[in-house]
A and B are shown apart, each in its own frame.
Chain A
């Protein structure tokens, strides 16, 4: 495999609705931003593109990625659409990586978007729930917040995780977003306010759950040769991994933990895994990505993480899948303060604040979750972090992680049915 670099990125503001821009124009806005940020690059260096959007129901337009390809002036270059639920953006990013790593393309554009404002919130929830088994799960009351609520109830039962620990994730991500002008829902919250917001599915409240969003994101990936020519600070994609699990979470096994290099079987003697409390696909994705990037202990070797926090609970579950802490310790990991940004006041006691910032951007909870764009948005924020250009792009440097060497992005579909993990490194 050839080395692959990210050389530029762009995003639109994520918003409840962009009635003034259709999906083509949203992508073009992000694409033009990425091109402007790379002055020595020209469009004729692009070999092809991969587009991503999750739902044909939201778009009401099949083959919408073809319309974007056309709108960007990239025809007749190679193009395709990638779809994989919530992980659509992460899969798109890895598909572009594959095109360059294989030598098929010198430069591949990954673009993603979603236009969720076309229907009301509850119809939107129904569309999303159609990404669960429509014979067995959807008719029972198909609702993703309900599925995640059941998962975290079991996590709480197995490990003693608390709703206050979950609320701390919400406080963190919404506060981080105060410094991110691209975010949809920045605000200062307290644990009490998170718990007192309307109950959606016990124990998850409105402030434990991400919102629907319209937005687009673009990443430009290139070979080492091209990256060296056109980009002053390219970022190397040093590891990619992905995993999967049974569509129906009822069908998940209760077996042994898939171990990471820094874990031992004796850590998990009595744990039945993954059950419905953990994401086996996320653990597999992390394991493969760490192997490719030669990571031994992610907690020591990563500078920051942008992970798929569609729910506060799934952020806690994902700390564990990624091996940032042992299974069962995700709640205590939040309380330690490690996943918070240093230098930001959250109004909380955080003994180890800023040890390993998770979702410095504000994540899905605060940025919004325009599905096809989300995984690419994470890549753009990670790219800017590793280029140390957060201040330039966000207008302030509060969210810039100091001397970042390596970042992880994590994209997640369904109840954990497709999950991607990619590792990016400052070159």
Chain B
């Protein structure tokens, strides 16, 4: 018995979730209308480039705030590997976008630019999926000087 090798079995696991975006839902609906919704604090005016129902700075309620559809690359990376779900999409470029009038950033993908040409400060424009999937990937960015619709 002591000579028995460790027995390894294979076991599959899968589950469907009913996932509500709850108070953040208007953001995802907004993507379908080609709008980027951030949040602005009703008390201190701090402006987030993401949905936050309450202000991280002062705790007051925020209101929805429409962000500009152009911004700049604050930082970037090109991923040559990834989590299993995204391996087939590699290489892909992630950016944090900064917007005029917003105090924080927005994480998205940058498309239509070779990885070696990405740089901090690059002007970018939001693009939206024609058929919404109601995921944050319904929006992505491309260089501002990229011809529209290509």
Q: Let me know if B56 and A145 touch, CB within 8 A.
A: no
Q: Let me know if B86 and A141 touch, CB within 8 A.
A: yes
B57 surroundings in chain A (CB, below 8 A): 253
Q: A135-B21, A153-B76, A248-B50 are in contact. Are A146 and B82 (CB under 8 A)?
A: yes
Choose among A135, A142, A204, A254 the residue that contacts B103 (Cβ–Cβ < 8 A): A254
Smallest CB–CB gap between B6 and chain A, Å? 4
Interface residues of B in 37-85 (CB under 8 A from A): 48-50, 52, 56-57, 74-85
- Is B112 in contact with chain A by the CB < 8 A criterion? no
Q: Let me know if B104 and A122 touch, CB within 8 A.
A: no
Q: A137-B107, A140-B136, A154-B120 are in contact. Are A146 and B50 (CB under 8 A)?
A: no
Choose among A126, A142, A145, A150 the residue that contacts B75 (Cβ–Cβ < 8 A): A150
Q: A125-B82, A146-B94 are in contact. Are A154 and B77 (CB under 8 A)?
A: no
- CB-based A-B contact count at 8 angstroms: 125
Contact bitstring A137-160, B, C-beta under 8 A = 1, else 0: 101111101100111011001000
- Rounded to whole angstroms, the CA-CA distance of A233 and B58 in the bound complex is 48
Contact bitstring B91-116, A, C-beta under 8 A = 1, else 0: 01011100000011111110000010
Q: Let me know if B21 and A145 touch, CB within 8 A.
A: no
Give the interface segment out of A162-170, A195-203, A337-345, A357-365: A195-203
- Rounded to whole angstroms, the CA-CA distance of A330 and B107 in the bound complex is 26
A198 surroundings in chain B (CB, below 8 A): 80
B1 surroundings in chain A (CB, below 8 A): none
Smallest CB–CB gap between A201 and chain B, Å? 5
Q: Let me know if A122 and B84 touch, CB within 8 A.
A: yes
- Is A187 in contact with chain B by the CB < 8 A criterion? no
- Rounded to whole angstroms, the CA-CA distance of A141 and B81 in the bound complex is 10
A126 surroundings in chain B (CB, below 8 A): 83-85
Q: Across the two chains, which residue of chain A brings its CB closest to B57?
A: A253
Q: A126-B85, A135-B24, A141-B89 are in contact. Are A251 and B79 (CB under 8 A)?
A: no
A249 surroundings in chain B (CB, below 8 A): 96, 105, 107
- Is A393 in contact with chain B by the CB < 8 A criterion? no
Interface residues of A in 249-280 (CB under 8 A from B): 249-254, 276
Choose among B77, B105, B106 the residue that contacts A202 (Cβ–Cβ < 8 A): B77
Smallest CB–CB gap between B22 and chain A, Å? 10
- Is B135 in contact with chain A by the CB < 8 A criterion? yes
B75 surroundings in chain A (CB, below 8 A): 150-151, 153-154, 157, 276
A253 surroundings in chain B (CB, below 8 A): 56-57, 103-104
Smallest CB–CB gap between B109 and chain A, Å? 6
- Is A76 in contact with chain B by the CB < 8 A criterion? no
- Rounded to whole angstroms, the CA-CA distance of A122 and B79 in the bound complex is 13
B108 surroundings in chain A (CB, below 8 A): 140
Smallest CB–CB gap between A189 and chain B, Å? 20
What are 9 A-B pairs at a CB distance below 8 A? A19-B6, A19-B8, A139-B136, A140-B137, A150-B96, A154-B74, A199-B80, A200-B79, A202-B80
